[in-house]
Structure 1
Amino acid sequence: MAEANWDLFRLFFAVARSGSVNRAAHELGMSQPTLSRRLRELERHIGAPLFYRASSGVSLTQEGEKLRRSAGTMMVAFESLQHRLRSQVGQRASVVRISATEGLTKHWLLPRVKRLRELNSRVQLEIVSTLHQQNVATSDLDFVIRMGDPGEDELVGKKVANVSFGIFGSAEYLAKHPEPRTLAELNDHHIIGQTAEFPGFKNDGARQMKMFRSIFAAPEARSVIRVAPMANHFAAAAEGIGLAFLAVPFALAEGLVRVLPQESAKVNVWLLHRRESDLRKLSREVGRFLESEFSKSKVWFAGQT
């Protein structure tokens, strides 16, 4: 004979506790005929009656009482396990974990946290601010906001913005050094260089490629400092060390001054997630909020105040 479904024992204990098939069916959210049929299925498996049925309810037979005593401890342990699991799952389901670059976190994401909390006070955010691509599988992230290459194949999502990049310096630096009028004049300036080229730039044509060649060649001619990660380029420029190639909206928010405004480049911004995160209701709500906010921010990302 095949083993009885564990759910049959759960139904048995519900009836044993309530003393009534009707009351147990109501508590379980099922019909009385369905519950009676499932109980008969368990009795056939046991090979003995488990209840005496009467108009006032049910009482346990000798076999039913033995089943209640022998399996009762296991049932209590199972219910305790279910309670702990619901509690743990509930705690994780209220947390939404997001990875974003330092610039995106500081200038775009954090200013929107208050609004998100006003819309849904249940959400708890964990934000990982890093330039490096986070491993979604090991980090248990719900969302990755990534600039440039969308990266891992297990992620799904969409391009939500284009960030404009340009050349910036501090007012202090530009007061002491003539502002460049052409890309070629960058070679006459102190340049805040990077230890590796910027990934993921959108190739829009010859003009943008010319800018790339100039901005990446300039540090070779006269670089005063090379800094990683890129978030520190903003601080270096603010200190008046030299000119830096920066995201336009972030640099403007830092109070830096743009030079050669006719020269710019673009980087795609991706909002990515794992398919599994859609199973969490709160994650779906946060995802819709982020998409809406990105849509409203297109002008800002383009560097137009």
Structure 2
Amino acid sequence: MDWDKLRIFHAVADAGSLTHAGETLGLSQSAVSRQIRSLEESLNATLFHRHARGLILTEQGELLFDATQVMNRRLDTAAARIRDSEEEVFGELRVTATTGFGTLWLTPRLPALYERYPDLSIDLNLEERVLDLPMREADVAIRMKEPSQADLIRRRLMGVRMRLYASETYVASHGAPATLDDMSEHRLISQAAHSTQVRAGAEMIAALLTRDITKRLTVNNYFGVLQAVINHLGIGVLPDYVALDTPGLVRVLPEEESSEVPVFLAYPEELRQSKRIAAFRDFVTSEIQAQRKAVRDAAFE
């Protein structure tokens, strides 16, 4: 089977359009169309249903696309290993993390990573969905629970707890609750209890809502919760690492907190020798150690 035709087929299937695939490949639409027709003739099969809105894979096309996806991932892995045979850290590293951790903890620290490795390119995917690392949807993941997928190297980075925080300005104007019953006098800012989040956070919010709290603001991610808190709208449920990086926050009801949420870094076994992953892993670990030291130093001041 012609590898070049398979490459073109994969691009068309991925884009759902001859035109868009041609733009990606640097080929004309007619050239792409000829290659697809030639591949269909060689296989004696129709690979696409054609209609006004684009192209849809046939059953035979789906089978071939599954195969080309596996081929592409293996080629990506081989290319990564070849690049990582060099001493320098460079090239693309696809990182996935939850929206909250990626936005509030990881992204602010990336300038230091780029300063250390200026030729490294990070493709950061922030979402709650657990990407499939063995299938190379990402190279390395930071997750709020221990990964269950096989063939992964995993390292526990830290533990996180959800706590209650308000801004100094808010506390100066409205006071701080002395008991949980006093929360009825304040606006609670949180993710909705049913929204996608760590179980410990959802359980804490559910427990708070057993109180008579009528004033509420819900946001679907911790970045939005933080923005509401620092703009003095009320008392927010936030991960403890946010408070360490955000001046002007005051912890309220310090006896109230969630159970600990473990944070893990994971990557495929086949990328064990990757210098890019090693550089990223060591950088994240050193940043966490620096944060812990800052907390200890502040406790003794």
Query: Which of the five TM-score ranges fits, normalised by the shorter chain?
Result: 0.5 to 0.7
Alignment of 1:261-276 (within 5 A): 261-265=254-258, 266-276=260-270
- Give the equivalent residue in structure 2 for 1:236: 228
Q: Are 1:140 and 2:137 an aligned pair?
A: yes
Contact 1:248 1:303 in 2 (8 A): no
User: Does structure 2 retain, via aligned residues, the 8 Å contact 1:142–1:273?
Assistant: yes
SS at match of 2:141: strand
Q: Is the 8 A contact 2:90 2:119 kept in 1?
A: no
Q: 1:119-158 alignment to 2 at 5 Å? A: 119-136=116-133, 140-147=137-144, 149-154=145-150, 155-158=152-155
Partner of 1:289: 283
Could you tell me whether the CA contact under 8 Å between 1:100 and 1:128 is conserved in 2?
Answer: yes
> Is residue 200–residue 268 contact of structure 1 (8 Å, CA) maintained in 2?
no
Aligned length: 213
TM superposition shift of 1:135 = 3.8
Cα distance between partner residues in 1 of 2:139 and 2:296: 26
Is 1:177 the equivalent of 2:174? yes
- Aligned counterpart for 1:260 among listed residues 250, 253, 262: 253
Counterparts of 1:177 and 1:118, CA distance in 2: 43
Give the 3-state SS of the residue equivalent to 1:268 in structure 2: strand
Q: 1:301 Cα deviation (Å)?
A: 7.9
- TM-superposed CA distance for 1:143, in Å, is 1.4
TM-score (norm 2): 0.57
Counterpart check, 1:165 vs 2:168: no
Q: What residue is the counterpart of 2:184 in the other structure? A: 187
> CA 1:144–1:223 in structure 2 vs 1: closer, same or farther (change >3 Å)?
farther
Shift, 1:161, TM fit? 0.5
Cα 1:143–1:298 shift into 2, 3 Å: farther
Q: State the shift of 1:273 in Å.
A: 1.4
Query: CA separation in 2, counterparts of 1:283 and 1:224?
Result: 41
- SS for the counterpart of 2:177 is coil
Task: Answer yes or no: is the 8 Å Cα contact 1:98–1:127 preserved in 2.
Answer: yes
After superposition, what is the alpha-carbon deviation per residue over 1:57-80, rounded to whole angstroms, capped at 9, x for unaligned? Answer: xxxxxxxxxxxxxxxxxxxxxxxx
Partners of 1:199 and 1:123 in 2: CA distance:
31
Maintained 8 Å contact 2:105/2:241: no
Task: Check if 1:225 corresponds to 2:224.
Answer: no
Q: How does 1:11-90 map to 2 (within 5 A)?
A: 90=83
**Aligned AA for 1:282?**
R
Q: Which amino acid aligns with 2:149?
A: D
- The answer for unaligned runs of 5 or more in structure 2 is 1-74
CA distance in 2, matches of 1:115, 1:170: 28
Unpaired runs of at least 5, structure 1: 1-81, 203-208
How far 1:138 moved relative to its partner?
5.8
Write the deviation string for residues 184-230 of structure 1: whole angstroms up to 9, x where unpaired.
3223321124223552439xxxxxx8x66643434x63242222123
For 1:183 and 1:200, how far apart are their aligned partners in 2? 21
CA–CA distance in structure 2, aligned partners of residues 174 and 194 of structure 1: 21
State the alpha-carbon separation in 1 of the partners of residues 232 and 80 from structure 2: 53
| SS state at 2:213 partner | helix
Kept after mapping to 1: 8 A contact 2:81/2:274 = no
Report the counterpart of residue 199 of structure 1 in structure 2. Answer: 198
**TM-score w.r.t. length of structure 1:** 0.57
Which amino acid counterpart does residue 113 of structure 1 have in structure 2?
L
Decide whether the 8 Å contact of 1:234 with 1:251 is kept in 2.
no
SS at match of 1:179: coil
Instruction: Give the C-alpha shift of residue 176 in structure 1.
Output: 3.6
Distance in 1 separating the partners of 2:98 and 2:237: 16
Structure 1 position 157, deviation (Å): 0.5
Shift of 1:234: 0.9
Aligned partners of 1:302, 1:156: CA distance in 2, in Å? 30
Larger radius of gyration: 1
Measure, in 2, the Cα distance between the counterparts of 1:223 and 1:303.
Answer: 37
Read off the aligned partner of 1:233 and give its amino acid letter.
Answer: V
Measure the CA separation in 2 of the matches of 1:119 and 1:239: 34
